[in-house]
């Protein structure tokens, strides 16, 4: 099962919502599996950080990235990510960062990461687009700025661009 509904509150509205989310995950996973049969993006030996406070988003990326054989390390808030980066500055081949995360936002996380590692590609992901937030993200050191929902083809295209092409290798 891709998403467990066992811990739900006994409120029927929440149950319906989480059952709906479960069905959506099953459909997405099916689409990703069908798509993974069509692509041969092998990222064995690569490590990707996913920084997002939304468990559904993290699970989405875990399922998608599993099709590439990349290792995935997840963080639910900016503080945990920054603390990890301080002690493991070169441990990621790519970072997928949510713009709005608890404690330390995505922009500050990217700025902190750039103090320790200037070369790792960073993909800023957000559901809240403004021209200013995009500019701020790029100035902080993000390589890409994309909007949610992120379709599998877009993610795989970005991974291929930064992790397999020689012009982007660091």
The per-residue pLDDT for range 10-55, each reduced to its tens digit, is: 444 444 445 555 565 555 655 555 554 556 799 999 999 999 999 9
- Round to whole Å and give the CA distance between 62 and 105: 21
Q: How many domains does the chain have?
A: 1
Residue 139 lies in a domain: yes
The per-residue pLDDT for range 113-131, each reduced to its tens digit, is: 999 999 999 999 998 889 9
- What is the span of the domain harbouring residue 133? 12-168
| CATH code of the domain in which 129 resides | 3.40.50.2300
Residue 170: pLDDT above 60? no
Tokens 């790029």 — which residue? 138
In this prediction the pTM is 0.77
Kindly give the interhelix angle for 152-163 and 55-66, rounded to the nearest 10 degrees.
Answer: 60
Share of residues in the chain with pLDDT > 90 (%): 67
What pLDDT does residue 63 have? 93
């Amino acid at each position: 099962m891709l998403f467990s509904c066992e811990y739900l509150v006994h409120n029927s509205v929440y149950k319906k919502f989480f059952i709906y989310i479960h069905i959506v995950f099953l459909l997405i996973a099916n689409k990703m599996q069908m798509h993974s049969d069509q692509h041969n993006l092998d990222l064995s030996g690569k490590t990707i950080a996913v920084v997002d406070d939304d468990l559904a988003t993290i699970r989405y990326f875990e399922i998608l990235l599993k099709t590439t054989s990349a290792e995935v390390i997840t963080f639910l808030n900016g503080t945990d990510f920054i603390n990890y980066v301080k002690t493991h500055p070169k441990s990621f081949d790519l970072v997928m960062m949510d713009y709005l995360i608890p404690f330390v936002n995505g922009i500050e996380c990217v700025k902190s990461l750039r103090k320790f590692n200037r070369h790792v590609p960073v993909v800023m992901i957000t559901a809240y687009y403004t021209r200013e937030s995009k500019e701020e993200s790029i100035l902080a050191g993000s390589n890409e700025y994309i909007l949610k929902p992120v379709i599998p083809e877009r993610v795989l295209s970005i991974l291929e661009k930064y992790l397999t092409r020689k012009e982007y290798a660091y």
